[in-house]
Amino acid sequence: MAPKPTIPLPERMRPQTLDGYVGQHHLVAPGSVLRNMIDSGNIASFILWGPPGVGKTTLARIIANTLNRQFFSISAINSGVKDVRDVIDRAKNQRFFNSPPPILFIDEIHRFSKAQQDSLLGAVENGTIVLIGATTENPSFEVISPLLSRSQVFVLKSLEKEDLEALLQYSIAKDSYLKTRTFDIQETEALFRFSGGDARKLLNIIDLIVGTYKENEPVVINNSIVAQRLQENIALYDKNGEQHYDIISAFIKSMRGSDPNAAVYWLARMLAGGEDPLFIARRMLILASEDIGIANPNALLLANACFEAVDKIGMPEARIILSETAVYLATSPKSNSTYIAIETAAALIGETGDLPVPLHLRNAPTKLMKELGYHKNYKYAHDFENNFVNLEYLPEKISGTRLFEPSNNPKENGLRELLQKLWKKYGY
């Protein structure tokens, strides 16, 4: 039997060609956009956007290998402008006359500041390098516009069950160590569920479970064994932020569930694991509007102030600001009434289409528009008692449709009473 390798299974199973690449068929299958680009040999700069463990780094390396391009790789977590410029200088000095430009791969490019991203522009624009960036965040918000306009964006998806099954079987059959072991695969539901569509996480779980059996024992995989082994080895399973999305989910759910103790615990777990403080602050901004809303409008103000303060101050002091905000959000009254309102309105528009704006609500900047009845019979609310006039503000076809439903909390109970007095037609 082969000795147990010291290299982790995900690294041992990293494919070198597209033939061994699992998932992302919409990008790498024959005839797809990215595959055509690779096959033509004419690679332009692009951004790979997708969740962790779906093959962004692997795909970049495969492309470099396939095209026989020089490959430089840096991580935005521990690199700065100097590192970027050093790589660009090396790319210039090592490039032969008329040879294709090397590939510069930047992992977690969303963590680069504006200045760091600006330092890439010249080299990308003049063809010194081909940039491949990888990000788990929406590049529309995290990558500067000049760089984004010079790059295509390819979206990678979490692996499907069929992809995970193929990766499991491929690993058992091809890995030099695993193929010497005997496997008894009884169930895979928990194995795939815990992996969450993440290839790296799946391979780490397999590696972990195999390590709990003696060399001469068959490796049994079923739902109860997977759950038990992961609970026993949670620290190992979680190293290097493998549970990034699980922990942020627990953090959000703790604040939504009004538990400040759990919220601070999960916050501390994320900070200890090296999570980007701005990522945490951004998620609290979303929660303030989605889960607290007008039950406590100050929550959004504090969350926004938190984001700006964290951006200015940075760690380690930012942890205090994050903690204050997390506790405040957790202990605030909760309401998702405005979230439901916009979702209901969007669904209604999908059913009814673009209904015409009532004539009295239309702007009438020209004489012709006034003659056509635009703005006619509009009543200016401030000309009436209590700054209110009973007027139709919805398209005629959906008149009386109630989209906003106040939740049961002191703030919105007051709003309900007000709406009952003002708008009988909505039936509050």
Q: How confident is the model at residue 258 (pLDDT cuts 50, 70, 90)?
A: very high
DSSP letters, 95-154, are PPTTPPPPEEEEETGGGS-HHHHHHHHHHHHTTS-EEEEEESS-HHHHS-HHHHHTSEEE
**CATH dotted code for 243-330:** 1.20.272.10
Q: Which residues pair with 133 in a beta bridge?
A: 47, 106
d(C-alpha 288, C-alpha 330), whole Å = 10
pLDDT of residue 313: 81
Q: Distance (Å, rounded) from C-alpha 300 to C-alpha 96?
A: 55
Classify burial at 350, counting beta carbons within 10 Å of its beta carbon; exposed 0-12, middle 13-18, buried 19 or more. Answer: exposed
> H or E segment at 202?
helix 199-211
Q: What is the fold of 161-240?
A: Helicase, Ruva Protein; domain 3 (1.10.8)
Domain residue ranges of the chain, discontinuous segments joined by +? 24-155, 161-240, 243-330, 352-426
Residue 242 is predicted with a pLDDT of 47
Burial track 385-409 (b if 16+ CB lie within 10 A, e otherwise): eeeeeeeeebeeeeeeeebbebbeb
* pLDDT of 18 above 80: yes
Other residues' Cβ atoms within 10 Å of the Cβ of residue 92: 13
Which whole number is the average pLDDT over 92-109? 82
Of the CATH numbers 2.30.29, 1.20.58, 1.20.1530, 1.10.3710, which one belongs to the domain with range 352-426? 1.10.3710
384-422 pLDDT, tens per residue? Answer: 888 998 999 899 899 999 999 999 999 999 999 999 999
Average pLDDT over residues 161-168: 90
Q: For the whole prediction, is pTM greater than 0.75? A: no
**pLDDT, tens digit, 9 for 90 and up, residues 32-72:** 888 888 888 888 899 999 888 788 989 999 999 889 888 98
- Could you tell me what percent of the chain has a pLDDT over 70? 96
Average pLDDT of the chain, as a whole number: 86
Question: Does residue 249 surpass a pLDDT of 60?
Answer: yes
Whether 415 contacts 339, CB under 8 Å: no
CATH superfamily name and code, 24-155: P-loop containing nucleotide triphosphate hydrolases (3.40.50.300)
Please tell me the predicted confidence (pLDDT) of residue 244: 65
